[in-house]
Structure 1
Amino acid sequence: MDGYQYLLLLIIPTSSADVLLAGSSSYAVLGQSFRFTCTVTGSSTGQLLTFKRDYGDVCTVSLNPCQQFSAPPGYTCPCGQSGVYNMDITSVSQRDERRWECVLSQTSNNIILPVYYGPFNNVTLDKPSPLTLTEDVTVSLTARCSADCKPACSYIWMKGTQQVSDNRVLPVGSFKRGQGGDYRCEARNTATGAAADSQTLTVNVQWHPAQPTHDCPPWIVRDQTVRCTCQTSDRGNPSGTVQWISPGGQMISSSVSSSVQLNLTSIRSSDNDRNYICRAGNSLPSSNSDTTYMASIAYLERPQLKFDKVEAQENTSVTVTCTVESNPIAEMTVEDIGSEAQPTFGVANTLTFTIDKTQCLQIMYRCTVKNIQMKTLISTVKQPNIACSPRPDSSKQTDTIVTGKIKTTASLTADVIANPLPNFTWYHYQGMTPVPVVIGTDNGVLTNGLQSVLKVHIKRNEDYGIYRVVVQNRQGIISLFFGITKDVSTPEAQSCNTLPVAVGEGTIIVILILVTVFIAYRRRLFKVLPEGYAVDDGKIMTSLQRHGSIHGRAVDDPLSTETGTYSSS
């Protein structure tokens, strides 16, 4: 065989098959089954088809004969048909979340298998149950739920069948009364739709009692009895009490109901502006809710009129002050009774009024106070002590010439103005000499304050004539003259001792003049005699009626302390 050369040809078979890997879905669910499908198209000389996970063999199929060649537990890859081969994962685990491919004579595309899971039945809460919170106090408090999920779960909070939140946080701190109860959190896998609920969270909302109110009157009249009520619309949670607290801080009354009564008896003026507290509270810290009742006591005392001088001289000024104890402040009026002057008015408990020129015994002041809460008026009347010497009281109508018959009684009345009260001394002129009137069975004197009445029982003609009364106090002295004449309406026998009618009306005028001159002479200070003695139509018109005064002073007779004399016309 020399000369022959041989060529050895090594023939290596080639494959034109295509291998494609696909999954039963785009993701696997933990614990559930999953299938990979490997599709071979075209011809292939390979005898084994292998499913690989991260380049490691997992399950192998023998193509000739067609049967499962190898597979670990939980994985199967039976013989396929028409070039389609499957591998089933009985229960997907997290280790299956890897890179997968299948290999025949060629390698397929690769697939990264995501493994989804959750939520499991272990949705957790970050707050214990039951959860107690206080309305408007624990405002920042929240309850948060969590679950192990892939992809991340969505969350909702439910109260019964009502959804109350669409996220994992429940703002329990902002809960109000009526929002307590049982809540649960639901976690849901956004890819798989799997859901799980948390344990029940019981929320107990506590709150303070509502602000209490009372129906106590704003004003209480002194010595009255008052009953009023403190009440609240809500005693809170836990349920509290309603109380009345005294001004000293002691509890007066308490009730576990929504109201309690306050009884105030024997109200005194000193109780004015005392604060009573209407309180609603429960066991929560700082839970007391208070409403204050200030008791305003209405009272009115009798007003007091006072003068700035214990005794004032006539025609001087005097300040009048009216004071009263009144609550509320009184409406006060001070007026001069009988005067046309406008009263002084003020809303005050003290009011002052000034008298410019005082008049003796002619001024009377009245202070009237009104309490608008009590609807009560009280007045006080008082006269200032104005000192003045005696003078005739012109407001009194008295006769200075009185007629009378024998065996009758004639009354001579002297009315004066004087302060302090004067003394009255009566005299009867016998001739030119004044003789004190003897008080006895024939004559009587009745003196009452500023009036003195001399009663003369006319028995004889000597009882007629001129009478004089000396009126004296520490401020001065005056004399008033009177005359008793015979009543000649019934003719009687003339007597040589008859006075003054028996000798004629002119005679008594002469006697009066002589008496006046005699008195002036006795005083040694005689200056001017009153003028105007006259007879008018047979009636005596003497100075007793027209002027009636003789001014002078004496130092040596019983009448020496007088400062003036006046008629009482």
Structure 2
Amino acid sequence: MEVNSSIQLLISLCKAQVIINTEPNELVDGESGQVIINTEPNELVDGESVQVIINTEPNGLVDAESGQVIINTESNELVEGQSGNVTCIYNNAYSISMSRSVSKQRDDGYWGCGVQGLQSETPINNTTIDVKVPVKGVEIENKNSLNLVNGVSTKMNCKVTNNPDPVINYRWFIVFLILDKPNKPSVKIEPEVSGNYKIIEGNTVELKCIVTDANPDGSLSYKWYKDTITTPTGQVGSTVQISKKGIYTCSVSNGIGTPGISDSITIDVLFPPRVTLTPQYSIIESNNLTIPYGPEVRVSTSRIDIIESNKLVINCTVIQSKPDDASINWYKPDGTSISSNVLSIDNTRRDQGGIYSCNSSKVLKPSIGTTKTNVDSKTTIVNIWYLDRVKITRTKLDIQEGDKINITCTTQSNPTASITYRNGTDVIQTDNSNQASFIKLAATCLDTNVYSCQVNNPNIPQTSYNDTIQILVNCKYSFSDTNKQNVEFITVKSPRPDPRVDHQYKITGNIGESVEITAQVISYPKPIFQWYYRENNVDIPIVNNGSFQQTNISTNINTFISKLTINITTNKFYRRYYLNVSNEVNPGGSDLQYDIISETVPDRPINITYKNITSDTICIEWTPGFNGGASQSFIVQHSTDDKTWVNSSTILDDTNNGRVDYCIEGLEPDTSYYIRVIASNKYGESLIGILSQSEPPKTASRQGKMYETMKNSIPTLFITLSQNMSSNEFDVVGLDIGIVLAILAAVVVGVILYKWRQGKGKEEETYDSIDPRIRADGQTYQELNTVHNTVTPQASDAARYYNLRAGQTTTDLDDTRPYANL
């Protein structure tokens, strides 16, 4: 091979970023040669070692001439993870090859191969190598949670575990599949017999319903049928006892489709012959014997209950008669009759109820003997149910307060009607009667309402009737009230405050706020409202403006509400407001009083009473006063000397029917206690509330243990024995109890004498050897801690104000609050 030493040949294979230069003078002229270059991992991409082999062929190069460059790959496709080879060939003389494990990320794409260093043009060849990625793994998604049910479609997804290239094709195979196929039960009856199963009358046979196959088989429901598959016997177990003849079948259900039905089994009941003796007849030899009989009558029912206007049908049948030409007649309660075996009335009336009789007569002519007429009859009681519309009446039209209310409801019903009285929607009385009255001896304004009367017949459930009446009570009697703050307002006549609501006669608000006074009154006739206030003993009527807004509404024929909204802009709005309510009955009207005040300390608790006392506990309850416009709480104090007081924990204002209760525990027995209650809110404490009772409550005495045991056990023993003994037995046991009581008494006396003697002996002992500073356990009394009562006594209400500084001026106070409440 002739090579110009001045020319350098460069063959480069580019994708792995490796350039290999060969020098022509490194090969022997005219001979084949091979150059092997081993590269290190850090010289190539992807951290792999690779081997590059350069082959040369003799006479493969011509100096200063261009040649042909070829890149050889295996079908231009490499497979990821497998060994691959890329070769660059120049004029079939020089080649450069690269072999390594294939990576799609690194090796996929555009490759180039070229020769540099020739004097002529540089031969270059390019190609694209496609690296294939095979499927490395495949799985069925959620295969552990798939539930295949026969007849139900189920979706399954096939998923590869890597990203293959190119796109792959899927094929599904069923290797082995077991379906849990649900099916209804297959059922049979045991014992299995061919033909009928025979038992003797009075005996029983046990039939078993056997399930031979079922899925699921955990919860099975059994039913037995007699004669037809639609006639259940009421028996539901898998095993039954049968004593009556018939065709029996069992069914079993497991919730899948229709129940499984067994083949039927026929039970025959065998019984001995029964003989009936006929009357004896004396006849002449060779004469024919004819024995006439009957008639015997049967009716389809002995009693029938029917709703009025429905059709009535009763059948009468002659069941035994020879000859069979007996006549039949129906006799009605009014004495009339019809010649028919069927009693039929298309549209029944209540006056058609009673006893109906079916009669059949027959003239019997025996071959020998006297002709005789036989008659048989059966009766049927016809009871007709009915209910008429109700009528409600009253005895007095103009009802004044205090008069008697008398409302009467009347109907006609069979059976007796159920009458329900209502005041509005409230049930006030019920009666079982066809006529009943509701009576209230003294009417009040609150009795004004629409009253109704509803009647029902228990045997005619779809029918009821109702009638109403308006009762208007003229309110005129005087009335006085005390609100829950214990403020008694003036005696009024109608109209008056509605006692059904809780009236607030003290309302709090601050300057800049709006407050609302609500007055709900009962009045008939309709009232007239007038709000006003007094200034310098002059009544100033209130009209709607920027400071006041009055709204009147009616919620019922005798219930009315008046609301006054007040915008508090200055101190002058803190005053007493009056509402004059008048009507035709009371033209002058009556006044209600309301106070607008700023928020302050609560009013004192009132009506404090004790309700339960034991040897160590006293329970009390009280009515909270006005809370001063802020949420309040309470403390209960108790003392044995009216000087040193013990406080309870804080008690919330949680009322029960307007009352708060609390139990003081841990008290000494047989001891009198002073008790008081104080309310407080964020503005301070109320005045002290004391018990309503004049004498302080006293805890009960604590009885001895033996006394309590005897007291509790002996009566219990006596009662138990007396409840289970006859009179004679009780006499005997009474003697025994007397003996027992005598023994117990002797024991008690003995114990008392023993303790007395023990005490007597102790009195004779001397105390010279006793050190008063040492206890029996060796501890000195000086070591005991002194317990102090940390509760500060409250000698008077004035003590609460000792924190006020001497000489404090009114400028330190809130000058926007009124002082009328001080």
Tell me if both proteins adopt one fold, taking TM over 0.5 as the criterion. no
TM bucket (normalised to shorter chain) is: 0.3 to 0.5
Q: TM-score, normalised by structure 2?
A: 0.28
- When Rg is computed on C-alpha atoms for both structures, the one with the higher figure is 1
TM-score (norm 1): 0.38
- Pick 1 or 2: higher relative contact order, CA cutoff 8 A, min separation 6: 1
